[in-house]
């Protein structure tokens, strides 16, 4: 079964750049927007509006992951959401779940911001933005800010969040590449 990712705001600034990158990697994209674009190879347009809950079921149909863009208008009307799994995990625990799914050891190695910044620059990110993201990530990871668990997934989708262990097992093919 191929993976399918819902991209909200698919016609916006971020979504219209992300969608072709996912398609290039063989991911089927459910391109969600208030005014869907015509379909193309690897991309399935779907009508979606944060302020119209009747659009949620069709948008979430056959979706394995989601990239959510929440506009200021939607936040003001519907509230902000922090989409999390059902449990708080350390990155070492995440690596353990990936190891189990892949059948090989995957380790998390803690580092300062420099290696993260270098990897981002090597991937084509500007040095200033790479420095900002690396600092933000290390500050967030070290502060416990990424340990939050909410029930927002269930509130938005009507179904419980998937545990990372189940996600890793379902996505085992990705870990084997």
Which letter, b or e, does each residue of 68-94 get, where b requires 16 or more Cβ atoms within 10 Å of its Cβ? ebeeeebeeeeeebeebbeeebeeeeb
Mean pLDDT of the residues in the chain: 83
19-30 pLDDT, tens per residue?
Answer: 888 888 888 899
Topology at the third CATH level for domain 4-86+148-175: Rossmann fold (3.40.50)
pTM of the model: 0.53
DSSP 146: G
What is the model's pLDDT at position 177?
A: 61
What digits encode the pLDDT tens for the residues 122-176? 988 889 888 988 888 888 777 776 788 888 888 777 889 999 999 999 888 776 7
| Domain spans, the chain | 4-86+148-175, 91-147
């Amino acid at each position: 079964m191929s993976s399918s990712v819902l991209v909200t705001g698919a016609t916006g600034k971020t979504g219209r750049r992300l969608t072709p990158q996912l398609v290039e990697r063989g991911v089927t994209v459910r391109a969600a927007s208030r005014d869907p674009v015509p379909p193309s190879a690897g991309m399935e347009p779907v009508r979606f509006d944060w302020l119209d809950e009747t659009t949620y079921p069709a948008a979430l149909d056959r979706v394995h992951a989601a990239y959510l863009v929440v506009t200021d208008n939607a936040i003001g009307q519907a509230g902000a959401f922090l989409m999390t799994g059902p449990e708080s995990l350390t990155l070492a625990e995440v690596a353990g779940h990936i190891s189990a799914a892949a059948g090989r050891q995957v380790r998390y190695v803690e580092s300062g911001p420099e290696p993260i910044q270098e990897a981002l620059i090597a991937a084509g990110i500007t040095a200033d933005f790479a420095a900002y993201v690396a600092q933000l990530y290390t500050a967030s990871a070290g502060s416990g800010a990424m340990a939050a668990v909410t029930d927002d997934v269930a509130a938005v989708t009507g179904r419980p969040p998937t545990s990372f262990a189940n996600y890793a097992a379902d996505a085992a093919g990705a870990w084997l590449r």
